[in-house]
Amino acid sequence: MTERSEENPQRVVGSVEGEPGRRPVLAYYYPAHHEVAGLNWNEWKLVRNARPWFEGHRQPVEPAWGYLVDSRPETFLRQARAALEAGIEGFIIDSPWRPGREAMFERMHREALLPGLEALGAEFRFAIMWVPVWPREHLPASMEEPELAEPERYFPFTGDDLTAMLGHFLDPYLLHPSCFCVNGRPFFVLFHTYRLLDQLGREGTIKALAAMREQACRAGLVGLFLVGILNQATDAQMLTGLGLDAVTSLIWWPEWRGPWIQDYLELGQARIAQWALVQERLDVPYLPSIAAGWDATPRGGPDWDGVTPRFPWSPIVVGNSPQAVSEMLAAGLDFLDRNGVDRNLPVMLASFNEWSEGHFLEPSNLWGDGHLKAIGQLLKNRV
Protein backbone atom coordinates (compact mmCIF):
# COMPACT_ATOMS: atom_id res chain seq x y z
CA MET A 1 0.00 0.00 0.00
CA THR A 2 1.19 3.54 -0.70
CA GLU A 3 -0.15 7.00 -0.05
CA ARG A 4 0.50 10.28 -1.82
CA SER A 5 1.08 13.58 -0.09
CA GLU A 6 -1.80 15.97 -0.66
CA GLU A 7 0.68 18.84 -0.98
CA ASN A 8 2.93 16.94 -3.36
CA PRO A 9 1.01 14.20 -5.21
CA GLN A 10 4.23 13.16 -6.96
CA ARG A 11 5.77 12.05 -3.69
CA VAL A 12 4.91 8.40 -3.04
CA VAL A 13 5.71 7.08 0.40
CA GLY A 14 5.74 3.37 1.14
CA SER A 15 3.49 2.14 3.92
CA VAL A 16 4.53 -1.15 5.45
CA GLU A 17 1.63 -3.18 6.75
CA GLY A 18 3.44 -6.50 7.02
CA GLU A 19 2.34 -9.76 5.49
CA PRO A 20 -1.39 -10.54 5.58
CA GLY A 21 -2.27 -11.49 9.13
CA ARG A 22 1.18 -10.56 10.40
CA ARG A 23 2.10 -7.70 12.70
CA PRO A 24 5.47 -6.09 11.83
CA VAL A 25 8.45 -6.85 14.04
CA LEU A 26 11.31 -4.34 14.19
CA ALA A 27 14.66 -4.64 15.97
CA TYR A 28 16.72 -1.80 17.38
CA TYR A 29 20.14 -1.48 15.76
CA TYR A 30 23.21 0.05 17.42
CA PRO A 31 25.70 1.32 14.77
CA ALA A 32 28.85 1.56 16.92
CA HIS A 33 30.89 -1.33 15.54
CA HIS A 34 33.46 0.83 13.75
CA GLU A 35 35.95 3.53 14.69
CA VAL A 36 34.08 6.74 15.55
CA ALA A 37 35.76 10.13 15.81
CA GLY A 38 35.59 11.51 19.34
CA LEU A 39 35.18 8.12 21.05
CA ASN A 40 37.99 6.05 22.56
CA TRP A 41 35.90 2.90 22.15
CA ASN A 42 33.65 0.90 19.88
CA GLU A 43 31.45 -2.08 20.65
CA TRP A 44 34.03 -4.68 19.68
CA LYS A 45 36.82 -3.17 21.81
CA LEU A 46 34.54 -3.40 24.84
CA VAL A 47 33.38 -6.92 24.02
CA ARG A 48 36.90 -8.26 23.47
CA ASN A 49 38.13 -6.87 26.81
CA ALA A 50 35.20 -8.02 28.94
CA ARG A 51 35.83 -10.24 31.98
CA PRO A 52 33.67 -12.56 34.10
CA TRP A 53 32.53 -11.24 37.50
CA PHE A 54 31.35 -14.49 39.11
CA GLU A 55 31.67 -18.22 38.58
CA GLY A 56 29.64 -19.18 35.55
CA HIS A 57 29.46 -15.61 34.23
CA ARG A 58 29.93 -16.11 30.50
CA GLN A 59 32.16 -13.22 29.53
CA PRO A 60 33.66 -12.33 27.18
CA VAL A 61 31.03 -13.20 24.59
CA GLU A 62 32.25 -13.88 21.07
CA PRO A 63 30.31 -13.08 17.87
CA ALA A 64 29.86 -16.19 15.73
CA TRP A 65 30.11 -14.09 12.56
CA GLY A 66 33.34 -12.50 13.70
CA TYR A 67 33.95 -8.85 14.52
CA LEU A 68 32.07 -7.33 11.61
CA VAL A 69 32.60 -3.64 10.81
CA ASP A 70 29.17 -2.05 10.53
CA SER A 71 30.28 0.84 8.31
CA ARG A 72 30.66 -1.66 5.46
CA PRO A 73 27.59 -2.38 3.30
CA GLU A 74 28.32 -6.12 3.22
CA THR A 75 27.90 -6.18 7.02
CA PHE A 76 24.50 -4.48 6.85
CA LEU A 77 23.40 -6.81 4.06
CA ARG A 78 24.32 -9.90 6.07
CA GLN A 79 22.50 -8.57 9.13
CA ALA A 80 19.41 -7.48 7.21
CA ARG A 81 19.09 -10.79 5.38
CA ALA A 82 19.45 -12.75 8.62
CA ALA A 83 16.76 -10.54 10.18
CA LEU A 84 14.42 -11.10 7.24
CA GLU A 85 14.92 -14.84 7.45
CA ALA A 86 13.83 -14.64 11.09
CA GLY A 87 10.71 -12.65 10.20
CA ILE A 88 12.06 -9.27 11.35
CA GLU A 89 10.96 -6.65 8.80
CA GLY A 90 13.46 -3.95 9.63
CA PHE A 91 15.78 -2.09 12.00
CA ILE A 92 15.26 1.04 14.10
CA ILE A 93 18.62 2.76 13.75
CA ASP A 94 20.10 4.48 16.81
CA SER A 95 20.87 8.02 15.56
CA PRO A 96 22.37 10.60 17.97
CA TRP A 97 22.26 14.19 16.67
CA ARG A 98 22.98 17.44 18.49
CA PRO A 99 23.07 21.12 17.48
CA GLY A 100 26.34 22.23 15.95
CA ARG A 101 27.84 18.76 15.72
CA GLU A 102 27.97 16.11 13.02
CA ALA A 103 25.53 13.31 13.69
CA MET A 104 27.18 10.46 15.57
CA PHE A 105 27.41 7.18 13.62
CA GLU A 106 26.71 9.05 10.37
CA ARG A 107 29.43 7.00 8.71
CA MET A 108 27.40 3.81 9.12
CA HIS A 109 24.26 5.55 7.85
CA ARG A 110 25.97 6.84 4.71
CA GLU A 111 28.43 4.07 3.90
CA ALA A 112 26.47 0.95 4.90
CA LEU A 113 22.77 1.66 5.49
CA LEU A 114 22.00 3.56 2.29
CA PRO A 115 24.01 1.30 -0.08
CA GLY A 116 22.61 -1.76 1.69
CA LEU A 117 19.03 -0.57 1.27
CA GLU A 118 19.64 0.04 -2.42
CA ALA A 119 20.87 -3.54 -2.80
CA LEU A 120 17.91 -4.95 -0.86
CA GLY A 121 15.26 -2.90 -2.67
CA ALA A 122 11.81 -2.97 -1.08
CA GLU A 123 12.68 -6.19 0.76
CA PHE A 124 13.85 -4.53 3.99
CA ARG A 125 12.70 -1.51 6.00
CA PHE A 126 14.28 0.84 8.50
CA ALA A 127 13.29 3.61 10.89
CA ILE A 128 15.24 6.34 12.65
CA MET A 129 15.45 6.83 16.42
CA TRP A 130 16.70 10.28 17.36
CA VAL A 131 18.86 10.06 20.49
CA PRO A 132 19.05 13.39 22.40
CA VAL A 133 21.90 12.08 24.56
CA TRP A 134 25.49 12.05 23.31
CA PRO A 135 27.39 8.77 23.73
CA ARG A 136 30.03 8.49 26.43
CA GLU A 137 33.36 9.59 25.03
CA HIS A 138 35.37 7.26 27.27
CA LEU A 139 34.69 3.61 28.04
CA PRO A 140 35.04 1.36 29.94
CA ALA A 141 33.66 3.32 32.87
CA SER A 142 35.39 3.72 36.22
CA MET A 143 33.87 3.80 39.70
CA GLU A 144 35.49 7.23 40.09
CA GLU A 145 33.29 8.70 37.35
CA PRO A 146 29.71 9.90 37.80
CA GLU A 147 27.33 7.05 36.98
CA LEU A 148 25.95 8.87 33.94
CA ALA A 149 29.43 10.10 32.94
CA GLU A 150 30.00 13.48 31.33
CA PRO A 151 27.21 16.00 32.11
CA GLU A 152 27.62 17.53 28.64
CA ARG A 153 26.13 14.35 27.20
CA TYR A 154 22.77 15.89 28.11
CA PHE A 155 23.07 18.86 25.78
CA PRO A 156 20.53 21.71 25.62
CA PHE A 157 18.25 22.15 22.60
CA THR A 158 15.37 24.36 21.48
CA GLY A 159 12.32 23.98 19.28
CA ASP A 160 14.36 25.44 16.41
CA ASP A 161 16.97 22.74 17.03
CA LEU A 162 14.29 20.09 16.55
CA THR A 163 13.53 21.67 13.18
CA ALA A 164 17.21 21.38 12.26
CA MET A 165 17.33 17.81 13.55
CA LEU A 166 14.35 16.76 11.47
CA GLY A 167 15.83 18.53 8.46
CA HIS A 168 18.93 16.36 8.84
CA PHE A 169 16.93 13.14 8.90
CA LEU A 170 14.29 13.96 6.27
CA ASP A 171 16.54 13.51 3.27
CA PRO A 172 17.81 10.92 2.56
CA TYR A 173 16.28 8.91 5.42
CA LEU A 174 12.62 9.68 6.11
CA LEU A 175 12.01 10.34 2.41
CA HIS A 176 13.70 7.06 1.47
CA PRO A 177 11.37 4.51 -0.18
CA SER A 178 12.50 1.85 2.32
CA CYS A 179 11.59 3.92 5.37
CA PHE A 180 9.11 2.05 7.58
CA CYS A 181 5.81 3.92 7.53
CA VAL A 182 2.38 3.63 9.11
CA ASN A 183 -0.30 4.70 6.64
CA GLY A 184 2.31 6.64 4.70
CA ARG A 185 3.83 8.40 7.72
CA PRO A 186 7.48 7.63 8.56
CA PHE A 187 7.85 5.90 11.92
CA PHE A 188 10.12 8.27 13.87
CA VAL A 189 11.19 7.36 17.41
CA LEU A 190 12.17 9.92 20.07
CA PHE A 191 14.51 8.30 22.60
CA HIS A 192 14.36 9.64 26.19
CA THR A 193 11.26 11.63 25.35
CA TYR A 194 11.36 13.14 28.82
CA ARG A 195 14.25 15.31 27.59
CA LEU A 196 11.88 17.23 25.33
CA LEU A 197 9.79 18.09 28.38
CA ASP A 198 12.90 19.04 30.35
CA GLN A 199 14.19 21.34 27.59
CA LEU A 200 11.00 22.73 26.07
CA GLY A 201 8.35 22.38 28.76
CA ARG A 202 4.99 20.74 28.12
CA GLU A 203 3.49 23.40 25.85
CA GLY A 204 6.80 23.83 24.03
CA THR A 205 6.96 20.08 23.39
CA ILE A 206 3.41 19.99 22.02
CA LYS A 207 4.20 22.90 19.68
CA ALA A 208 7.52 21.37 18.59
CA LEU A 209 5.95 18.02 17.70
CA ALA A 210 3.20 19.76 15.72
CA ALA A 211 5.84 21.84 13.92
CA MET A 212 7.77 18.67 13.04
CA ARG A 213 4.66 17.23 11.39
CA GLU A 214 4.11 20.43 9.41
CA GLN A 215 7.75 20.39 8.34
CA ALA A 216 7.39 16.80 7.11
CA CYS A 217 4.31 17.73 5.09
CA ARG A 218 6.14 20.63 3.46
CA ALA A 219 8.83 18.12 2.44
CA GLY A 220 6.19 16.07 0.61
CA LEU A 221 5.27 13.50 3.24
CA VAL A 222 1.76 12.93 4.55
CA GLY A 223 3.03 13.50 8.09
CA LEU A 224 5.07 11.71 10.74
CA PHE A 225 4.21 8.79 13.01
CA LEU A 226 5.87 10.02 16.21
CA VAL A 227 6.77 7.42 18.84
CA GLY A 228 7.81 8.34 22.37
CA ILE A 229 9.94 6.19 24.64
CA LEU A 230 9.40 5.57 28.33
CA ASN A 231 11.93 4.07 30.73
CA GLN A 232 9.56 3.01 33.50
CA ALA A 233 5.82 2.71 34.16
CA THR A 234 5.64 6.06 35.95
CA ASP A 235 6.74 7.86 32.74
CA ALA A 236 3.41 7.11 31.08
CA GLN A 237 1.46 9.99 32.57
CA MET A 238 3.90 12.69 31.45
CA LEU A 239 3.84 11.38 27.87
CA THR A 240 0.04 11.64 27.63
CA GLY A 241 -1.43 14.56 25.73
CA LEU A 242 1.75 15.53 23.87
CA GLY A 243 0.48 14.60 20.42
CA LEU A 244 2.47 11.39 20.08
CA ASP A 245 1.08 8.56 17.95
CA ALA A 246 2.40 5.70 20.10
CA VAL A 247 4.78 5.01 22.99
CA THR A 248 7.31 2.22 23.31
CA SER A 249 10.53 1.46 25.22
CA LEU A 250 14.09 0.57 24.37
CA ILE A 251 15.38 -1.40 27.36
CA TRP A 252 12.74 -1.63 30.07
CA TRP A 253 13.53 -5.06 31.49
CA PRO A 254 15.87 -5.18 34.52
CA GLU A 255 15.05 -3.73 37.92
CA TRP A 256 17.83 -1.15 37.87
CA ARG A 257 18.30 -1.00 41.66
CA GLY A 258 17.29 -4.59 42.27
CA PRO A 259 19.44 -7.65 42.94
CA TRP A 260 22.72 -8.04 41.11
CA ILE A 261 21.56 -11.22 39.32
CA GLN A 262 18.01 -11.20 37.91
CA ASP A 263 16.00 -13.84 36.05
CA TYR A 264 14.84 -13.00 32.54
CA LEU A 265 11.40 -14.64 32.62
CA GLU A 266 10.60 -13.40 36.12
CA LEU A 267 11.30 -9.89 34.89
CA GLY A 268 9.19 -10.61 31.82
CA GLN A 269 6.14 -11.50 33.90
CA ALA A 270 6.51 -8.25 35.81
CA ARG A 271 6.73 -6.29 32.56
CA ILE A 272 3.58 -7.92 31.15
CA ALA A 273 1.63 -6.65 34.16
CA GLN A 274 3.17 -3.19 33.78
CA TRP A 275 2.37 -2.99 30.06
CA ALA A 276 -1.31 -3.14 31.00
CA LEU A 277 -0.85 -0.43 33.63
CA VAL A 278 1.00 1.79 31.16
CA GLN A 279 -1.68 1.32 28.51
CA GLU A 280 -4.36 2.40 30.98
CA ARG A 281 -2.49 5.67 31.57
CA LEU A 282 -1.67 6.48 27.95
CA ASP A 283 -3.90 8.08 25.32
CA VAL A 284 -2.10 6.24 22.49
CA PRO A 285 -1.05 2.60 21.96
CA TYR A 286 1.84 1.20 23.96
CA LEU A 287 4.08 -1.00 21.79
CA PRO A 288 6.11 -3.46 23.90
CA SER A 289 9.86 -3.74 23.37
CA ILE A 290 11.20 -7.20 24.13
CA ALA A 291 14.76 -7.11 25.43
CA ALA A 292 17.02 -9.95 24.39
CA GLY A 293 18.89 -9.71 27.70
CA TRP A 294 20.99 -7.35 29.79
CA ASP A 295 24.63 -7.55 30.82
CA ALA A 296 26.48 -4.25 30.46
CA THR A 297 29.59 -5.34 32.37
CA PRO A 298 31.77 -5.01 29.21
CA ARG A 299 31.22 -1.26 29.59
CA GLY A 300 32.72 -1.24 33.09
CA GLY A 301 36.33 -1.25 34.22
CA PRO A 302 37.93 -3.62 36.74
CA ASP A 303 37.56 -1.26 39.75
CA TRP A 304 33.95 -2.04 40.70
CA ASP A 305 33.62 -2.84 44.42
CA GLY A 306 31.34 -5.82 43.76
CA VAL A 307 28.68 -4.41 46.09
CA THR A 308 27.32 -1.08 44.89
CA PRO A 309 24.31 -1.54 42.55
CA ARG A 310 25.50 0.65 39.74
CA PHE A 311 25.54 0.84 35.94
CA PRO A 312 27.24 -0.76 34.06
CA TRP A 313 28.22 -3.56 36.46
CA SER A 314 24.78 -4.20 37.91
CA PRO A 315 22.27 -5.68 37.31
CA ILE A 316 22.95 -8.74 35.16
CA VAL A 317 20.04 -10.65 33.63
CA VAL A 318 20.39 -14.41 33.23
CA GLY A 319 18.16 -17.01 31.62
CA ASN A 320 17.66 -15.10 28.36
CA SER A 321 17.65 -18.25 26.27
CA PRO A 322 16.26 -18.31 22.73
CA GLN A 323 13.10 -19.99 24.02
CA ALA A 324 12.67 -17.39 26.77
CA VAL A 325 13.06 -14.43 24.40
CA SER A 326 10.69 -16.06 21.90
CA GLU A 327 8.16 -16.61 24.68
CA MET A 328 8.29 -12.94 25.62
CA LEU A 329 7.96 -11.85 22.00
CA ALA A 330 4.81 -13.95 21.80
CA ALA A 331 3.55 -12.20 24.95
CA GLY A 332 4.19 -8.81 23.36
CA LEU A 333 2.29 -9.77 20.21
CA ASP A 334 -0.57 -11.18 22.29
CA PHE A 335 -0.73 -7.97 24.33
CA LEU A 336 -1.15 -5.83 21.21
CA ASP A 337 -3.77 -8.15 19.71
CA ARG A 338 -5.67 -8.39 22.98
CA ASN A 339 -5.85 -4.60 23.19
CA GLY A 340 -7.04 -4.25 19.61
CA VAL A 341 -3.97 -2.28 18.49
CA ASP A 342 -3.85 -1.58 14.75
CA ARG A 343 -2.11 -4.51 13.02
CA ASN A 344 0.10 -2.04 11.12
CA LEU A 345 1.83 -1.13 14.38
CA PRO A 346 4.92 -3.16 15.28
CA VAL A 347 6.34 -4.87 18.30
CA MET A 348 10.01 -4.14 18.98
CA LEU A 349 13.02 -6.31 19.80
CA ALA A 350 15.97 -4.83 21.69
CA SER A 351 18.32 -5.23 20.12
CA PHE A 352 19.78 -6.84 17.04
CA ASN A 353 23.39 -6.03 17.91
CA GLU A 354 24.03 -4.12 21.14
CA TRP A 355 26.69 -6.51 22.38
CA SER A 356 28.33 -4.46 25.14
CA GLU A 357 25.03 -4.25 27.03
CA GLY A 358 24.13 -7.89 26.45
CA HIS A 359 21.00 -7.43 24.36
CA PHE A 360 21.68 -8.88 20.92
CA LEU A 361 20.11 -11.38 18.54
CA GLU A 362 23.14 -11.94 16.32
CA PRO A 363 24.73 -15.39 16.60
CA SER A 364 27.23 -15.85 19.42
CA ASN A 365 29.29 -18.48 21.19
CA LEU A 366 26.60 -18.47 23.93
CA TRP A 367 23.49 -19.27 21.93
CA GLY A 368 24.65 -19.88 18.35
CA ASP A 369 21.92 -18.60 16.03
CA GLY A 370 19.26 -19.82 18.45
CA HIS A 371 17.56 -16.47 19.02
CA LEU A 372 17.02 -15.81 15.33
CA LYS A 373 15.81 -19.37 14.74
CA ALA A 374 13.39 -19.29 17.69
CA ILE A 375 11.95 -15.94 16.62
CA GLY A 376 11.63 -17.14 13.04
CA GLN A 377 9.79 -20.27 14.11
CA LEU A 378 7.44 -18.31 16.36
CA LEU A 379 6.55 -15.81 13.66
CA LYS A 380 6.13 -18.50 11.03
CA ASN A 381 3.68 -20.34 13.29
CA ARG A 382 1.66 -17.20 13.95
CA VAL A 383 0.86 -16.44 10.29
Extents of the domains making up the chain: 2-382
E-strand stretches of the chain: 2-4, 12-14, 25-29, 90-96, 125-131, 181-182, 185-190, 225-229, 246-248, 261-263, 289-291, 316-318, 347-350, 353-354, 359-360
Provide the pLDDT confidence category of residue 1 given band limits of 50, 70 and 90.
Answer: very low
Mean pLDDT across the stretch 63-78?
98
Q: How many CB atoms lie within 10 A of CB 381?
A: 8
Q: Residue range 220-233: average pLDDT? A: 97
Confidence of residue 14 (pLDDT cuts 50, 70, 90): very low
pLDDT, greater one: 102 or 313: 313
- Write down the mean pLDDT value for the chain: 93
If one compares 25 and 137, the residue with the highest pLDDT of the two is 25
Confidence of residue 380 (pLDDT cuts 50, 70, 90): very high
Per-residue pLDDT reduced to its tens digit, 285-311: 999 999 999 999 999 999 999 888 899
Quick one: pLDDT at residue 10?
31
**Across residues 134-146, what is the average pLDDT?**
90
- Second CATH level (architecture) for the domain 2-382: Alpha-Beta Barrel (3.20)
The pLDDT of residue 122 is 87
pLDDT digits 0-9 by tens, 248-257 = 999 999 999 8
pLDDT at 8 over 70: no
* Residue pLDDT, tens place only, 333-373: 999 999 999 999 999 999 999 999 999 999 999 999 999 99
- For 198-205, what is the mean pLDDT? 98
pLDDT surpasses 80 at 133: yes
Cα separation, 41 vs 342, in Å, equals 41
**Residue 214 CB: number of other CB atoms within 10 A?**
12
User: Is residue 85 predicted with pLDDT exceeding 50?
Assistant: yes
Contact 96, 103 (CB under 8 A): yes
How large is the average pLDDT for residues 266-283?
Answer: 97
pLDDT above 70 (res 282): yes
194 φ, ψ (degrees, to nearest 5): -60, -25
Name the band, by pLDDT with cuts 50, 70 and 90, for residue 123.
confident
**What is the DSSP track for 277-300?**
HHHHH-SS-B--EEE---B-GGGB
**Average pLDDT in the 267-284 region?**
97
Cα–Cα distance for residue pair 188/128, rounded to 1 Å: 6
Backbone φ/ψ region at 4: left (φ over 0), alpha (ψ -120 to 50), beta = beta
Q: Which pLDDT does position 21 carry in this prediction? A: 63
Residue 5 has pLDDT above 80, yes or no: no
Contact 301, 252 (CB under 8 A): no
